[in-house]
Amino acid sequence: MTQPTLSRTPDLMRRGESVVVERRCQGTYRAGEYIEGRCETFSVIANVQPITGYDLMQVPEGERHKRHFDVFTISRIKLDDILVGPDCNSTLGNGLRYKIVAAEDWGRYHRCKARLVDGQENSGN
């Protein structure tokens, strides 16, 4: 997957940061036993922003204590993909994992909602 050149990049992406995407491919059943699909990992440039108060009110009450982010990117990110913050300077944090819980096509780029993966609430930055 090639990254677009900066001159053709929408303004929103010019302030982006590199994040790692982990995508699990579909598994199969063999002789009645489930075999997990392989994991594909790639980097994308994304503009990562905390969700707004209005968006937080749309989150189920039991999930509001978790970290949520809006992620805007040119590359298509799918539901259930995992985003990983590459370093401590990243908005997502060093090594913290976020699951994509919503994805929308906005024409020139894609908007996703990412939620911190369970079990990491007290770790990281």
**pLDDT beyond 60 at 5:** no
Contacts of residue 12, defined as CB under 8 A and 6 or more positions apart, other chains included, come to: 47, 72, 109
**pLDDT beyond 60 at 1:** no
Tell me which of 3.60.15.10, 2.40.10.270, 3.90.1150.10, 3.40.50.300 is the CATH number of domain 11-25+35-116: 2.40.10.270
* pLDDT given for residue 4 in this prediction: 46
In whole angstroms, what is the distance from residue 5 CA to residue 8 CA? 6
The DSSP symbol for 63 reads G
State the CB neighbour count (10 A cutoff) for residue 56.
12
Q: How far is CA 72 from CA 17, 24, 35, 44, 118, in A?
A: 10, 21, 33, 10, 22
The tens digit of pLDDT for each residue in 61-117 reads 888 888 888 999 988 889 889 888 776 666 777 778 889 999 999 888 899 999 888
**Dihedral Cα 70, 75, 81, 84, nearest 10 deg:** -70
Q: Are 116 and 82 in contact (CB under 8 A)?
A: no
State the CB neighbour count (10 A cutoff) for residue 76.
14
**pLDDT beyond 70 at 60:** yes
The tens digit of pLDDT for each residue in 7-52 reads 454 565 567 788 889 888 888 899 989 888 888 898 888 888 888 8
